[in-house]
Structure 1
């Protein structure tokens, strides 16, 4: 209850010193507002949850070097906006690539060669997924192959949904690095 009486500036000072309760209070104050703000601009519940969660994870991870110019609220809103703009920009690039790929497919050139390349790419992706750490691989396969939600995976493996979300996100980052952006965007 004591933390509710602190100002945002005081909470930031305590956060910089590693006070997790200060982070919890900031999260309590701003999580709902940021989610609503983001969802109005980008109506994908899972992606918006991930964005908001990442903002607070980054807030904690960068607490020692945090530079908040105006107010904490403005900083958080700007962080959400920038993250959403990055996602939208990435989706545009991905859509352009998919459109280009679709045009190539529509032309129907070299179908046999494409099948061989597709099999090779699938083998490569399976190989890289198999190289993930055991729990990360299990969570990733449950998410992608069994189409289970983060909540369902968390319940089945007795983990927190945040852990599941983090493991899936980390798996995607690892695969993106290992496979390269082009191959990664085809499959994920």
Structure 2
């Protein structure tokens, strides 16, 4: 029995355009787990992620004759997932943990070399610089210097409750202000 030859993405797209349902099944089998993981990483909602992926493959099949993939199938599918995750977040309540986790990631050593990091870091810094002075100082001591609430309170000669209030205010302001950079944030965050 001859060994099965794996089809390239280009071959699968060509077969898909010729109404080959097997090509769709092979694309699904090749990419569904990667796409699900990317979406779940942001949304943390398995039902929503499953729905997004199911819709993506339905659209892929329904639009197969008009399909124009410029770079790679993988890049195309990831872009579709990013768009759908963005749409999910825009239509629903924006969860604070998405922003908090993304903010901590963009400050991690893994992120430093990318152009997206530099752009996002510049935008986040501009937002942080617009915070009231004491609030900005507390935020930077917490997030950049990694000091505990108690250490910040001691250093600034304020109560830990005041530290918590400043951080809550800073994070609320960041989340609100970051709405305009949500697409860049999601692109960067899903990419990891």
> Could you tell me the TM-score, scaled by structure 2's length?
0.46
Structure of higher CA gyration radius:
2
> Could you tell me the TM-score, scaled by structure 1's length?
0.47
Pick 1 or 2: higher relative contact order, CA cutoff 8 A, min separation 6. Answer: 2
